[in-house]
Structure formats: structure tokens, C-alpha cells
Amino acid sequence: MKAVSPRMQIVLSMLIFGTIGVFRRAIPYPSGVVALARSVIGLLSLLLLRAARHEPLNGGAIRRNLGKLLLLGAMLGFNWIFLFEAYSYTSVAAATMCYYMAPVFIILASVPLFGEKLTPRKAVCSAAAVLGMVLVSGVLTGGLHGAKGLLFGLIAAGLYAAIVLVNRTLRDISAEDRTMLQFAAAAAVMLPYVLLTGETRGLPLTPAILLLLLTLGVVHTGLAYVLYFGGIAKVPAQTAALLSYLDPVVAVILSLTVLHEPMSVSAAVGAALVLGAMIVSEFEPRGT
């Protein structure tokens, strides 16, 4: 990754993440199976990368954080399941907007958990994002379109917020080590879940499906996470936060142009409100 600048690493990772919804739509498997495949293939790709670099895992750091890493892995697995289910029940654009409510949950939870100050700017931005989510849902224009998908998207957002908050409590462990252990834990949780639910029965496995699964695991998981963590360690936090909003922008564009999913005017306004509110919230004036 040395030839790629940190900013470009983040841009590339966000462009990759933004296409997940399209790939998920093309895989005719239950969400649990897709999440399991993603965690296993993503883990193997990172292990191969570490082996090529001759970089061992930090066993001591892993043991000190093992309990939290297992919890994070379980949450990560179910986070993927709910996100993939959201794509199945509503448009990729609406599911993505629901998922990007995670920053609101993080802002609100950081007050009681970490004693962080809820500034007027962040309070207003959080309220604006909630309003935008209401517009995306369609409840003000006659009903909830894809209500189950919207709910699953919000649950995925809550799980992602919890993952971010728990990650903040990890100590003395590198980003790659914690990512690999979370992938491993996610796979360990997903395997019995998939077996107990019987989701693997009668599933077709064609070369096209295998290629999609490998792409989701290697590119959207292994490569994207390496790019992302490699970039965010070397750029200002606000720059990383701003660039992260390329993900939902790409997802919305692909939803409209590739999947040809409809979007009402109010939903478009709501999506812009969610994105705008979260972007503005990242630029807190100094001294606040």
C-alpha cells in the first residue's frame, strides 16, 4: 500500500464499501451464509497478507483484550446479517441511510458512557439526521416503505455504533490484529448460527456465485479494511470522517443507476439531510 497516499487509501476503501449492496443483491444466499463467508474469506485474506509480510500476531495484546474481541466479533457478524437483510427488504439507498444513523447513536451514547459533551452543534445535527431518517422512511407521505428493511438497517446501525464504542476501550492492540480477531470471532459465532437455522440447505454454488463471494470477502472485507485502517492512521480525523461519506453517496448512486430503485423527492431530501447533518457535525469549532 506504500505507493498509495493515505487519503487515496480511504477514498478507495469507501468506493469499495459503497458497492456492497449491489454485490449482496446478486448473491442468492441467506444473509447469515453471506456474513459467514465474508468473515471467513476476509480473515483468510488478511492472514495471507500478514504471512507475506512475515508479521506475527501480538499474542499478549490479543489475550489481554480477548473477551472484548469475542464480543466485538459476535456483534460484527450480526451487524452484517442485519445490513444484508436490510438490502433484501428495502432499497440499497434507504438501507444505507438507515445504516448511517450509526454516528447519531455514537454521539448520544458517548455522553453517558465516556462523559463527552453534547455540544449544541452536534445536538442540532443529530436532530436533523433523525428528521432526515423520517423522510427516508416515507412515514410522512403515507406509509413506511420497506419497514422491515428500515428496521433491520437501524439495528445494523446500532450494532455498528456499539462496535465503535467497544473498540474505543481496547488497549495496546494494532488495528490489523483487532480486525483479524473480530473476523475470526464473527466466523465462530456465525457458523453455529447458520448450522442451527439450516440456511445452508439446498444452496446452489455456481462459478459466478463463488466469484461474488470471493469478491465480497477478499475485496470488500480484506482489502477494504486494510486500505481503510492504513489510511485513517495517517490523516486528520476530520478528513477521514468527511471521506467516509463517499460510501453512502456511492451506494445511493448505484441504487438509482444500476439497480434502478425508485427514490421519492422527500426521500432524496431526507438522504441529503442525513449526510449533510453528519458531515457538519464532524467540523466542531476549536474550543467547543
What DSSP assignment string belongs to 207-255?
HHHHHHHHIIIIIIIIIHHHHHHHHHTSS-HHHHHHHTTHHHHHHHHHH
Burial label for 170, CB within 10 Å (0-12, 13-18, 19+), is middle
- pLDDT band at 145; cut points 50, 70, 90: low
pLDDT of residue 141: 59
Q: If you average pLDDT over residues 142-156, what whole number do you get?
A: 79
Q: What is residue 142's predicted lDDT score, i.e. its pLDDT?
A: 53
Give the least confident one: 46-55, 168-177, 189-198. Answer: 168-177
pTM of the model as a whole: 0.84
Q: Residue 134, class by beta-carbon neighbours within 10 Å (0-12 exposed, 13-18 middle, 19+ buried)? A: middle
Q: What pLDDT score was predicted for residue 82?
A: 94
Split at pLDDT 50, 70, 90, the class of 285 is low
Residue 9: which pLDDT band, with cuts at 50, 70 and 90?
confident
pLDDT band at 286 (very low <50, low <70, confident <90, very high): low
Look at residue 288 and tell me whether its pLDDT is greater than 70.
no
Average the pLDDT over 77-81 and give the result. 93
Q: What is the pLDDT of residue 150?
A: 87
**When comparing pLDDT for 85 and 236, which is higher?**
85
pLDDT band at 207 (very low <50, low <70, confident <90, very high): very high
Q: What is the mean pLDDT of residues 58-68?
A: 88
Residue 153 has pLDDT above 80, yes or no: yes
Which comes out higher in pLDDT, residue 245 or 242?
Answer: 245
pLDDT one-digit tens code per residue, 252-272: 889 889 999 888 888 888 888
- Check whether 1 has a pLDDT greater than 60: no
Residue 120's pLDDT is 84
Model confidence at 71, in pLDDT bands (50, 70, 90)?
Answer: very high
**What angle, 0 to 180 degrees and rounded to 10, lies between the N-to-C axes of helices 31-53 and 207-214?**
60
